[in-house]
Amino acid sequence: MTGNEVYYILLGAAAGGFINGLAGFGTALFALGFFLTVMPPVEAVAVTVVLSVISGLQGVWIVRRAMFENTPRLLRFIIPGIIGIPFGVWSLQLVNVSALKLLIAFFLILYGGYFSFRGKLPRIAHSTPLIDGTVGLAGGVLGGAASLSGALPTMWCAMRGWPKQEIRAVLQPYNVVILALTAVMLALNGAYHERTLINLALALPTAMIAAQIGLFVFSRLSDAFFLRLLIGLTLVSGTALLLRELL
């Protein structure tokens, strides 16, 4: 392994771990660009998924109280999301994944750009179990098809006006569960061979430390600023996804 490869792996792990600690999503969107520079696509995704899950578990612990207080709401996202994963994997035979990613990037940019420049953010206060389940299902499908499980739940949760702990108590465990199942599917398909495990062992400590820094910053943010941050990150994530697919 060359010094250049180590540099990109550590940089990707730091970027992905920090954003996971800060926002509870986005590891793939921020880390894959670095990993793909020095790894084949399947290997890069396999490493990213494990980093997302393990660094995400730290965030789950931070919001465990809010999770237990709102367990029925969390399950409305997670259970349909699990159901959606095999449909996403199956859809790989029918859809162009690059076109799907470009479509998601377009909506992330449209959503993030529109709400980033609005003085007043949307606030949907009433209970929406049907929409919650639909968003969870769609996120599972996108997770199985393109490892983008967090995109739609993040957009939806940012419109609810919940406190930051409640938002994270949905996004973090949702992404951990969906991506853990994705990691299992990758393992069954032989993605975790010797080179993948070496790269993972190199990246994991950096991602864990970076996630702790992100969690520290998260603890200092106000609810209003965290909502703004989530919306801003959808714009950044969409732009990063668009550029990666085009370039």
The number of beta carbons lying within 10 Å of the beta carbon of residue 82 is 17
Note the pLDDT of residue 119: 66
CB neighbour list of residue 182: distance below 8 Å, 6 or more residues apart: 49, 85, 143, 144, 147, 149
Task: Count CB atoms within 10 A of the CB of residue 191.
Answer: 17
Total of domains in the chain: 1
- In order of 10, 34, 242, the CA distances from 171 in angstroms are 25, 24, 22
| Cα(92)–Cα(178) distance, integer angstroms | 17
**Residue 228 CB coordination number (10 Å):** 16
pLDDT band at 134 (very low <50, low <70, confident <90, very high): very high
pTM above 0.75, yes or no: yes
Query: Which position has the higher pLDDT, 93 or 48?
Result: 48
Per the structure, the complete domain to which residue 73 belongs is given by: 3-246
Task: Report the pLDDT averaged over residues 153-176.
Answer: 91
Contact 174, 136 (CB under 8 A): yes
Which pLDDT belongs to residue 213? 96
What value does the mean pLDDT of the chain take? 88
> CA separation (Å) from 159 to 68, 70, 103, 124, 223?
22, 17, 20, 6, 13
What are 11-68's pLDDT values in tens digits? 999 999 999 999 888 888 788 888 888 988 888 888 988 999 999 999 999 999 999 9
61-92: pLDDT as tens digits:
999 999 999 999 999 999 999 999 888 878 86
Rank 27-36, 148-157, 158-167, 170-179 by mean pLDDT and report only the highest.
170-179
Contact 79, 135 (CB under 8 A): no
Terminal Cα distance for the chain, rounded: 25
Distance, in Å, from the CA atom of 240 to the CA atom of 143, rounded to the nearest integer, reads: 17
CB atoms within 10 A of CB 241: 24
Residue 203 CA to residue 59 CA, distance in Å, equals 18
Say if residue 220's pLDDT is above 90.
yes
pLDDT digits (tens, 9 = 90+) for 1-11: 788 889 999 99
Supply 209's token pair.
């430390």
Q: Average of pLDDT values for 115-129?
A: 79
